[in-house]
Amino acid sequence: MNILERFSNYLTAIEYPKEKTSWNIAGIIKGQNAFYKFDVRDMFNLSDGTLAQKGRLDSKADKMVLEIKNKWVILDLEELHQHIKKNKLKKVYVNDLISKLQWTINLKK
């Protein structure tokens, strides 16, 4: 089962893009009522073994989804982009973001 299929188990009202775009799946997180477009991709290892994810400032997605061990971390892309621009960052770390961003959801697997 790929990451998109695994994450889809946590959504209702699922939609997929009709053409190639920066989001992979849209829907409502179970137990909530807002509809979002999600960027859901596997993380990759940097040369030092650190897990990483690339993102774009012009993404059409509303949220970025990261799969970390026993949970899903969902970041708000607008808030993330503002944080990156305000602090003139080129690289950010997930553990830092969780404490610095207000709109972050952790979903237990």
83 occurs within a structural domain = yes
Size of the chain in residues: 109
Phi, psi at residue 64, to the nearest 5°? Answer: -110, 135
51 occurs within a structural domain = no
pTM recorded for the entire structure: 0.89
29 occurs within a structural domain = yes
49 occurs within a structural domain = no
50 occurs within a structural domain = no
The total number of structural domains that make up the chain = 1
Q: What is the pLDDT of residues 60-93, one digit of tens each?
A: 999 999 998 899 999 999 999 999 999 998 888 8
52 occurs within a structural domain = no
Q: What is the pLDDT of residues 37-65, one digit of tens each?
A: 999 998 888 888 877 788 877 889 999 99
Position 7 pLDDT exceeds 80: yes
Strand partners, 68: 71
66 occurs within a structural domain = yes
Phi, psi at residue 86, to the nearest 5°? Answer: -60, -40
84 occurs within a structural domain = yes
Domain that holds residue 98: 3-42+59-108
* Residue-level pLDDT at 89: 87
